[in-house]
Amino acid sequence: MFRQKPYHIYESIFCAFLVTFISGFINAFTYLTQGGRFAGVQTGNLLMMGIRLAEGSLIEAIKFLIPIIVFMAGQVLTYFFKSWILKNRFHWHLFSSLTLTVLGLIAVLGLEFFHPYVIVGILALFMSLQVDTFKSIRGTPFATVMMTGNIKNAAYYWVKGFIEKDTKVRKDGRNILFILVTFSLGAMCSTILSKQFGELSLVFVLLPLVVLNGYLMIGVRKGPLYNPKNILKKL
């Protein structure tokens, strides 16, 4: 009989749901309010840039190039940032989550003052840090931003687990399927709120970020591994 082993707090299903919801929310927000660009889904930006170049619209193409460059720069910064954090023995995932909250707050406060290029840049940096921080759910790799791999794995893991009678693999497929649903829910909420509040809808992304910080803080206090059954009762 399959028994769930204790796992790291940042690998929990609840944590994965939060970061994926946030990702769907922010990507829908930038698409709807910041000129059809994505903060995290760089495949979409790359596709649109190619289309604009083919149409001869160089300026429009550059608009989609900016978040791509910032996202790449974010990966470079994350490498050095993470090395420094681990060297000083801080909790990387909690520190990263707090940094994400600061970036989100800067973007919210800058809505009235910053050019849309800057807002998209800040959120692209946000997405770059997030995608390199939260990479697995109960030990199984998944992506918080780009969903193509998740769609593939959801089907593959579930069928593999069912055919081979492997409960863990089947549950991995189920969990990743839930990730896809959560990403869509984030996009749906962002769309509804954007139609109602416009750019100010970004304020609402701070709520799941605060919950994420509190959740990780609880897990850090309980040690590197924990039994997930009672964690939500502590919130």
Determine which helix (DSSP H) or strand (DSSP E) holds 92, and give its type and residue range: helix 92-109
Average pLDDT over residues 110-123: 92
Task: Assess if residue 1 is contained within a domain.
Answer: no
- Residues 134-174 have pLDDT tens digits of 988 887 888 888 888 889 988 998 889 889 888 888 888 88
Task: Assess if residue 39 is contained within a domain.
Answer: yes
| CB within 8 Å of 49: residues ≥ 6 apart | 61, 64, 65, 68
- Residues 33-79 have pLDDT tens digits of 998 999 999 999 999 999 999 999 998 899 999 999 999 999 999 89
Task: Assess if residue 3 is contained within a domain.
Answer: no
Task: Assess if residue 230 is contained within a domain.
Answer: no
Q: What is the C-alpha to C-alpha distance for residues 67 and 121, in angstroms, rounded to an integer?
A: 6
- Structurally, how many domains does the chain consist of? 1
Domain coverage including residue 132? 9-222
> Quick one: tokens of 86?
């681990």
Task: Assess if residue 161 is contained within a domain.
Answer: yes
Task: Assess if residue 193 is contained within a domain.
Answer: yes
pLDDT of residue 86: 80
Task: Assess if residue 233 is contained within a domain.
Answer: no
Task: Assess if residue 118 is contained within a domain.
Answer: yes
